[in-house]
Amino acid sequence: MDIKNSVALVTGGNRGIGEAFVRAFVAAGAAKVYVGARDVASAQHLVDEAGGKVVAIALDVTKPETITAAAAQCQDVTIVVNNAGQFGMQTLLKAPDLETARLEMEVNYFGPLGMSRAFAPILAKAPESAIVNVLSAGGIVAVPGMGGYSPSKFAARAMSTCLRAELAPQNTNVVALIVGSVDTRMASHVEGFKETPATIAEAGLKAIKRKADEVDTDFMAIDVRANLARDPKGFELQMRRSLAGERVTTGR
């Protein structure tokens, strides 16, 4: 699939990995990039940078009415990047209630699902189109210290496979990006080597171009998959250490 002259929409596009995706699409020759953000003003710097190619739209993926409004406004979209994410830094049992876990599921699972449902008919109008779900290494190995975040990414990964099957007849590919250690606000608790958001966006665009199904975007994601394949039980026990309050450290 060619990125040039495409029209992309990036949720949570005002900072971090989303911001890097916006810049990558512009650099690759996309005709237009919609930046979805809860606060439109927070994406103004990207609008100013791109000279008319970037359009900021109000979008909160936990609110179906804003998804519906975005779909009505953005009828020319050919690529949807479901990047918006939520990590509450609570464990499943020690959290005071289910509010954090519910929010993680709302943002990380139901949000991308709602976006996919709303934009599927729009994507069907293009000869080629794509949905990119920005997931996590916590979606291929359960991390107890990540509470509801890890289960939500497992769910989103399974959703990606189901959507890929449903959307194949209309030539809309669904890409699952497995992201590990990235230098963003969400990963501020992680020590050690971290990839730049630009590296993840670059991997994402390459995955779109070659119509990949699932891609490990960085060293930590690759390392997690390798360790899981090598010794599943040993790796599960290693992940339990996160419950003791040990800080997560990359292998590099």
pLDDT band at 239 (very low <50, low <70, confident <90, very high): confident
Q: Confirm if 149 and 104 have CB atoms less than 8 A apart.
A: yes
Place of tokens 């030539």: 171
Computed over every residue of the chain, the mean pLDDT equals 93
Domain borders along the chain are 7-244
| Whole-number pLDDT of residue 241 | 83
- Indicate which residues carry an active-site annotation: 149
pLDDT band at 182 (very low <50, low <70, confident <90, very high): confident
Q: Confirm if 145 and 248 have CB atoms less than 8 A apart.
A: yes
Question: Considering only the top CATH level, what class is 7-244?
Answer: alpha beta
- Select from 129, 124, 173, 167 the least CA-distant residue to 5: 129
